[in-house]
Amino acid sequence: MSSLDSLNSVAFSVFGEHVKWADMTGNLLGLAGLALGWRRALLAWPVQLLSGAVLVIAYWSAHLTGGVGKQLLVVVVAAWGWIQWRRGRRESGQVEVRFATWRERGWLVGGTAVGTLAVVGLFTLFPSLSWNPWPDAYIFVGTLAAMVAMARGWVEFWFAWLAVDLVGVPLAWSSDLKFSALVYVIYFVLVLLGLRAWWLRTRTSRPDAGALEGAPA
């Protein structure tokens, strides 16, 4: 049996639901990356990169093109985010976090909306790329937006990641990626803890007022 076959094999079954090795391993690495991101550790990015590489296999086997695209984006953006955080560490000695300005939020939300519509159009034009154009496109673009926000050190990253999971988890469950759906509860807890930690960090680090234009009081 090849290594790819091993990753796509069933790790265990619970109440008649099969959990595959690739699905389980990739999501555990994703949880670790999210937890490390909460701690603002540089290791968060290489762990996220490895998670994306493993989950490419899981989504490919489930014929979820949008999921495959999402994980390929994770790999690319994780490499870019790692560079951004390393640069930040060199300049200030730590990874700075802040709320995005209203202009940055507008670009983030607007870019996500336009990007989703564009990808839906692509998936509609080429039906073989996706069986579920809207959720696949939303996951594809939303993941990019969330990871860009994380690389920039924006607190809004946590809200964006949660918004992606709210669609991605039900889709994963219905596509026989049960472990992806089951770990949602843990993701949800980590998102809340990370959101609280980064929010409090903005209170203690006190970056320049110009950088916090439009941030909640």
Q: What is the pLDDT of residue 217?
A: 34
Residue 207: which of 155, 148, 151, 150 has the closest Cα? Answer: 155
Q: Measured between alpha carbons, how far is 58 from 159 in angstroms, rounded to an integer?
A: 25
The model carries a pTM of 0.77
Burial 165-200 (b: 16+ CB within 10 A, else e): bebbbebbbebbbbbbbbbbeebeebbeebbebbee
Q: Measured between alpha carbons, how far is 108 from 202 in angstroms, rounded to an integer?
A: 20
In the chain, what are the domain boundaries?
3-212
**Single-letter amino acid, residue 10:** V
Give 75-87 pLDDT, tens digit per residue. Answer: 999 999 999 999 8
| pLDDT of residue 207 exceeding 50 | no
Give 107-119 pLDDT, tens digit per residue. Answer: 999 999 999 999 9
Task: State both tokens at 157.
Answer: 């990253």
% of the chain at pLDDT higher than 90: 33
Give 157-206 pLDDT, tens digit per residue. Answer: 999 988 887 887 777 777 766 666 677 667 778 888 898 999 998 887 55
